[in-house]
Structure 1
């Protein structure tokens, strides 16, 4: 029942996310969103073909991400994943640097976190390693995990 409630809540927020995302339709926001998504996707050390397919499907069907072209979103995501795969420390540093650009904009930062959590949950599983990365992203953006029901 809790999972069904979670999915219902996720769907009800979709149109709200799109409206908010339109306010931040720019390259820095796109890069930050995909940097966060890549960090969460790589939480277990790799992104499987299945995870990539789920990510693409989520991007194509998610109202909030529809403010960007699918090819731009996929390219940005693949760039961050590729950097993390090539050199974990440098790739993660670049991803967190992209996220950091949104720290001064609280509205954009909150939207980013909600989007990253939605993307991480798109496969129906928001596991402990993904939650740990999400918490780090939240803190990087100057927010608190409890605001997003992560403790």
Structure 2
């Protein structure tokens, strides 16, 4: 199977798994960690262009699992995390990882945050090495084995 097909299949599988847990994913720690993960994946290469920013914002707004939260609140949190990352990527990454770590206490939420990162990273059909690397790093932050997610 081609890499492209595997990426599409993996993102689709992750989205299906997230939908199965939608009703469990309603607290603030999950919300904050998810928006931090979205920003981290979007800025994985250290920069984010306006088109990518808009694409990820659109994915957040249309993701069924994230509809448990107000869209404007999610957008505000996503933008705040992106601002930290674009101002100073290394320093911002520390802050964003602290947000991601909020989901560590609940394994189902921690896995869902990683799955959201994979869905966001694979949405454009290219879950590239830098995106994989930041999601793998988030796995360690959440005390999850990266191999569980084929990372």
Q: Settle same-fold status: TM greater than 0.5.
A: yes
Following TM superposition, by how much is the alpha carbon of 1:82 offset from its aligned partner in structure 2, in angstroms? Answer: 0.3
How many residues are treated as equivalent by the alignment? 150
Query: Taking structure 1 as the reference length, what is the TM-score of the superposition?
Result: 0.89
Q: Which residue of 1 aligns with 2:111?
A: 110
Gaps of at least 5 residues in structure 2 are: none
Report if the CA contact (8 A) 1:15-1:63 is conserved: no
**Where does 1:70-149 land on structure 2 (aligned, <5 Å)?**
70-149=71-150
TM-score relative to the length of structure 2: 0.89
Q: Distance in 1 between matches of 2:98 and 2:61?
A: 26
Counterpart for residue 60 of structure 1? 61
- CA-atom RMSD in angstroms: 1.8
Q: How much has 1:104 moved relative to structure 2?
A: 1.8
**Equivalents in 2 of 1:4, 1:69: separation in Å?**
33
Query: Structure 1 CA distance, aligned partners of 2:13 and 2:134?
Result: 25
Q: Which ranges of structure 1 fall in alignment gaps of 5 or more residues?
A: none
